[in-house]
Amino acid sequence: METQLIGVDTSGRQVVDLTGAVSSFCEGKGDGLVHVFAPHATAGVALMELGSGSESDLVEAVERLLPRDDRYRHRHGAAGHGADHVLPVFISPSMVLPVFDGTLQLGIWQKVVLVDTNEDNPHRTVRFSFVSG
């Protein structure tokens, strides 16, 4: 298995496109599976369309589902930080994607994104792992 850890700056962004980085990691690797993993208790990875307003729609949906207020027992950090710790239950911290002939296989509008609502820590890491098939 080949693996790579990348740094991601989420300053001012809650949805960060990882597609180019994942695609580059897969180049020249043949057929297999790529695992994308955010090793954080407050972030997840997802597939979604970008650039059509979907990013702000996702952020608004997460805010409705997980309001940023004082209802959470987990209360350190910024207001509503407990919601950040519940996020990975709804947006998984990992995904597995097919790779054929070194090319990431996504639908025409699909992008791989990091979703991170935690304003307390804008420095994230994401691990890519490739398993040949």
Digit-coded pLDDT (tens) for 11-23: 989 999 999 999 9
Question: What pLDDT is attached to residue 117?
Answer: 92
What's the count of helices (H) and strands (E) in the chain, helices before strands?
A: 3, 8
Question: What is the DSSP secondary structure assignment for residue 99, as one 8-state letter?
Answer: E
Task: List CB contacts of 35: < 8 A, sequence separation 6 or more.
Answer: 94, 95, 96, 127, 128, 129, 130, 131
* Residue 76: predicted pLDDT: 82
Residue 45: CATH number of its domain? 2.60.120.460
Give the number of domains in the chain.
1
| 55 backbone φψ class: left, alpha, beta (φ>0; ψ -120 to 50) | alpha
For 53, the domain range is 2-132
pLDDT tens for 8-51 read 999 989 999 999 999 999 999 999 999 999 999 999 999 999 99
Confidence band (pLDDT; 50, 70, 90) for 7? very high
Cα of 43 vs its chain's centroid, Å: 6
